[in-house]
Structure 1
Amino acid sequence: SDIYKETISEFLKQIVSTAFSGQELTEEQTQQKLAALLEEKSATVKDKFAEAEISYPLIKAGGQWKIVSLDTETVRIMSANFTNVQDEINQSLEEMETSQTQPEQEAPQASADGKIDMSNDKFTIHYKQHRVTTDFAGAPCLLVYYDYSNNGSSASSAMVDVNLQAYQNGNLLEPAIPESDDEAIDQFMTEVQPGQAVTVCQAFTLQDESDVTLQAGEAFSFGGGTVVSQVLKIK
Structure 2
Amino acid sequence: MRKSQEIGRSVVSVALACAVMACPVALVGCNDDAGEQGAVATTGEQPAEEQPAEEQPVEEVQSEYDVTIDGATVTTDYEGAPAMIVDYSFTNNSDEATSFAVACSQKAFQNGVQLETAIVTEDLGNGYLAEIKPGATTTARMAYSLTDQSDVTVEVSELISLDDTLLAQATFPAA
Q: Fold conserved (TM > 0.5)?
A: yes
Aligned-CA RMSD value: 3.1
Shift, 1:215, TM fit: 1.6
1:230 maps to which of 156, 170, 175: 170
1:205 aligns with 2:145: yes
- Aligned CA distance change for structure 1 residues 231 and 176 (closer, same or farther; 3 Å): same
1:156 maps to which of 91, 98, 104: 98
- Counterparts of 1:27-46 in structure 2, within 5 Å, are 32=2, 35=5
Please identify which structure carries the higher helix content.
Answer: 1
1:218 aligns with 2:158: yes
- Counterparts of 1:136-155 in structure 2, within 5 Å, are 136-155=78-97
- Counterparts of 1:6-45 in structure 2, within 5 Å, are 32=2, 35=5
Verify the 8 A CA contact 2:97 2:132 in the aligned structure 1: yes
TM-score (norm 2): 0.67
- Counterparts of 1:67-82 in structure 2, within 5 Å, are none
Shift, 1:161, TM fit: 0.8
Structure 2: runs of 5 or more not aligned:
9-21, 30-37, 39-53
Verify the 8 A CA contact 2:100 2:128 in the aligned structure 1: yes
Verify the 8 A CA contact 1:154 1:193 in the aligned structure 2: yes
Structure 1: runs of 5 or more not aligned:
1-30, 39-52, 60-64, 66-111
TM-score (norm 1): 0.51
Secondary structure at the counterpart of residue 132 of structure 1: strand
Equivalent pairs, count:
138
CA distance, structure 2, for counterparts of residue 170 and residue 145 of structure 1? 21
Give the partner amino acid of 1:221. Answer: S
- Aligned CA distance change for structure 1 residues 133 and 153 (closer, same or farther; 3 Å): same
Give the partner amino acid of 1:209. Answer: Q
Which structure would you say has the larger RCO, counting Cα contacts within 8 Å and 6 or more residues apart?
2
Shift, 1:118, TM fit: 6.9
Percent of aligned positions with the same letter in both sequences?
27
Q: Which has the larger radius of gyration?
A: 1
Please identify which structure carries the higher strand content.
Answer: 2
